[in-house]
Amino acid sequence: MTNMNVYLLAALSPLFGALVAGLFGKQIGRSAAHLVAIFGVAISLIASIIIFVDVLDGHMFNGSVYTWAIIGDVRFEVGFLIDRLSSLMMIVVTSVSLMVHIYTIGYMKEDPGYQRFFSYISLFTFAMLILVMSNNFLQLFFGWEAVGLVSYLLIGFWYKKDSAIYANLKAFLVNRIGDFGFLLGIALVLHYAGTLDYAAVFDQSENLASQQIELFGGIGWSLVTVICICLFIGAMGKSAQFPLHVWLPDSMEGPTPISALIHAATMVTAGIFMVARMSPLFELSESALSFVLIIGSITALFMGLLGLVQNDIKRVVAYSTLSQLGYMTVALGVSAYSAAMFHLMTHAFFKALLFLAAGSVIIGMHHQQDMRFMGGLRRKMPITWLVSLIGSLALIGFPFLSGFYSKDSIIESVHLSTIPGAGFAYFAVLAGVFVTALYSFRMYFLVFEGEYRGGARKSDHGSHGNHEPHESPMVVWAPLVGLAVLSVFSGAISIQPILFGDYFQDVIFVMESHDVVRQFGEHFHGWFAMGLHGFQTLPFWLAAAGVLVAWFLFLYSPNARKKLTLFSPLTRLFEEKYFLDKFNEWFFARGSKSLGGLLWRIGDQKIIDGMVVNGSAKLVGQVGMQLRRVQTGFVSHYAFVMILGAFALVTIWLF
């Protein structure tokens, strides 16, 4: 088999599964539908592994599959760029996707939309692969919007639920705001570089950096800064960075497997991936990097804070995802692209784990998501408990676990950076460590420790006779164990090659003066030494403090919490999510409706139709009325006018 066939197999086999499960799901039945979907993704994973090994052997690929259109002298292609960045992403995407596919058999067991769900998640896998395998901006945008479409379909999967169909519209529109910037960035690239092919654009990056563009009043902007900021606005939508993050918490209305796959592990990291892919452009603009850094820092700290006051187990994990995406963005901002990709990978594993574990809790609790009614599940769901603990420890950066390596690398990189804003970013990521530990272990203690508080609740979930929480079936917990293993080991084994080896050497471009990862590497003496050293660092003690405070407030002395009235305005601010949703609802949603109404009623109906169109009709009518008076019907009158007219004509003619 040639390489191209393997690439096509990797991309298209999930599409095949999606089409079969989607179009013929009714005819072939449930188990055939999930088998074909799982089979498709499994083949894709195997192909991705083959490709990964092949790439490690030094076989990169950059070429076209077919020509989409030729306009003038510009060729728009659909093609693949298979290198170390894309093959790593392919492994992450297909492996998490396979876990989620298997998990779904158990999670969606009773849902009438079973086949449809499998069709969507396979379609998503296809779209995400198209995105990461692309060798040009056009196809990137195709994948970008296609994952957005599937996200829309999946958030609104339970289409009878008002909150779900509100959330999916919101998600799509907020993402479209990001895409608006993204498309402008692509248009700028096409106009100034004359091509959308990555390699050809990067070859001209110096040339782009030397140009200026006038946007307002004759002030020149660096072209590459404008391009990078436009592209990054796209990433802000997809990767849920402040202030375009508002859709992600609401996306939790969708079924849990997709929260894990799409809204934690893969789709939301597309923005991070994209910026890493564009490193040859971003490196040339310190202003753009600084912008990225500040947005990332705000997201990392302030979104984490919101996780402190959520009672819905999935929303806590969602805010945690926002905060971790902020960490990745911060890493991008300090040119530590490899650290961002590293955290992307470890986060994909432990966050998918946390989400799926939360889903397991939700099944065990008979679709109760409110943590106030949980507690003491450690004994009732031992496997779920154990993997959740592992996931939480990885998330807060406990030494030797995967999250520790990636997060510490980011923090160290920020510490070493000289990009404007790095000081603020350093504070934000350090404070974020404390906050992360606090909300993670608040959740952990509320769910798994203490006494079970759900007994008195009247369950609306009628299909079970037994309302006691119970451990989930194996098809649910087996993927959790797989992800737990990855969450433990993936950091230790890959930090050396990814960060300090030559893994990303030819793929990610970093300027000498920005190369904080290299500086950090000078102090690196192997994963074991780093893990040991981890116990003596500031982030570790901040995390420990967070766990301790969580333990004190949520397990040891819950009453102490009530005395913290000092914080109640702050709590309200967090509960209201900094009033951003309210503001958006009022300003953008209501505002555009009012504007539309105004333009329609005043512009179209009153002015154009009322005054101009019907006005001229009326004018014609009135002129007609006046003219009618002239038509008296008496021949003598007409004769008289005729004679006058004849005189007038003769007079004009003579003189």
Partner 1 sequence: MSTHVIGSLSLIVWLPIIFGVAVLLIGRDGRERVARWLALVGSVLSALVVIPVWIQFDVKQSEFQFVEFIPWIETFNINYHLGIDGISLVLILLNALTTVFVVVAGWEVITKKVSHYFASFLILSGMINGVFCSLDAMLFYVFFEATLIPMFLIIGIWGGPNRVYAAIKFFLYTLAGSLLTLVALIYLYRTTGGSFAISDFYTVSIPQSAQVLIFLALFAAFAVKIPMWPVHTWLPDAHVEAPTGGSVVLAAVMLKLGGYGFLRLSLPIVPDAARELAPFVIALSLIAIVYIGFVALVQRDMKKLIAYSSISHMGFVTLGIFIFNAEGMQGAVIQMVSHGFISAALFLCVGVLYDRMHSREISDYGGVVNSMPMFAALFLVFAMANAGLPGTSGFVGEFLVIMGAMASNFWFAFAAAMTLILGAAYTLWMYKRVVFGECGSEQIRGLKDVNAREFAMLFVLALIVIGMGLYPKPFTDVIDVSVASVLELASVIKN
SS3 label, residue 329: helix
The CA–CA distances, whole Å, from 392 to 329, 340, 367, 403, 436 equal 21, 20, 22, 9, 9
Residues between 433 and 492 that touch partner 1 (CB under 8 A): none
Question: Which is closer to partner 1, CB of 66 or CB of 653?
Answer: 66
Per-residue contact string for residues 194-233; x = within reach of partner 1 by CB under 8 A? -------------------x-x------------------
Per-residue contact string for residues 608-647; x = within reach of partner 1 by CB under 8 A? xx--xx---x------------------------------
Q: And the tokens for 377?
A: 């599940």
Contact residue for partner 1 among 80, 172, 398, 445 (CB under 8 A): 172
Query: Could you tell me how many residues of this chain bind partner 1 (CB under 8 A)?
Result: 50
Give the CB-side neighbour count of residue 196, counting CA atoms within 13 A: 29
Contact residue for partner 1 among 109, 525, 593, 606 (CB under 8 A): 593
Asked if 488 and 402 count as a contact pair (C-beta separation under 8 A), the reply is: yes
Residue 367 — left, alpha, or beta (φ > 0 → left; ψ -120 to 50 → alpha)?
Answer: left
Question: Which is closer to partner 1, CB of 80 or CB of 503?
Answer: 80
Q: What are phi and psi of 394, to 5 degrees?
A: -65, -40
Cα–Cα distance for residue pair 89/48, rounded to 1 Å: 9
- CA-closest candidate to residue 544, choices 398, 415, 379: 398
Cα–Cα distance for residue pair 346/86, rounded to 1 Å: 16
Asked if 524 and 408 count as a contact pair (C-beta separation under 8 A), the reply is: no
Contact residue for partner 1 among 169, 209, 386, 548 (CB under 8 A): 169
Residues between 62 and 101 that touch partner 1 (CB under 8 A): 66-72, 74
**What is the DSSP secondary structure assignment for residue 221, as one 8-state letter?**
E
Question: Which is closer to partner 1, CB of 535 or CB of 587?
Answer: 587
Contact residue for partner 1 among 190, 389, 475, 573 (CB under 8 A): 190
Q: And the tokens for 459?
A: 């369950």
> Closest distance between partner 1 and the C-beta of residue 81, in Å?
18
- Cα angle at 272 between 269 and 276, to 5 degrees? 140
Per-residue contact string for residues 135-164; x = within reach of partner 1 by CB under 8 A? ------xx-xxx--x--x---x--xx-x--
Q: And the tokens for 109?
A: 């067991």
Segment near partner 1 (CB under 8 A); pick from 421-429, 504-512, 591-599, 641-649: 591-599
Segment near partner 1 (CB under 8 A); pick from 34-42, 60-68, 320-328, 408-416: 60-68
Contact residue for partner 1 among 199, 474, 493, 595 (CB under 8 A): 595
Question: Which is closer to partner 1, CB of 110 or CB of 162?
Answer: 162
DSSP 404-439: HHHHHHHHHHHHH--STTHHHHHHHHHHHHHHHHHH
Segment near partner 1 (CB under 8 A); pick from 388-396, 397-405, 549-557, 604-612: 604-612
Cα–Cα distance for residue pair 296/564, rounded to 1 Å: 30
Cα–Cα distance for residue pair 549/76, rounded to 1 Å: 56
Amino acid at position 64, single letter: S
Question: Which is closer to partner 1, CB of 115 or CB of 290?
Answer: 115
597 counts as binding partner 1 under rule CB under 8 A: yes
Question: Which is closer to partner 1, CB of 181 or CB of 359?
Answer: 181
- CA-closest candidate to residue 384, choices 474, 303, 252: 474
| Cα-to-chain-centroid distance, residue 319 | 13
Binding site for partner 1 (CB under 8 A): 66-72, 74, 141-142, 144-146, 149, 152, 156, 159-160, 162, 165, 169, 172-173, 176-177, 179-180, 183-184, 186-188, 190-191, 213, 215, 592-593, 595-597, 599-600, 603-604, 608-609, 612-613, 617
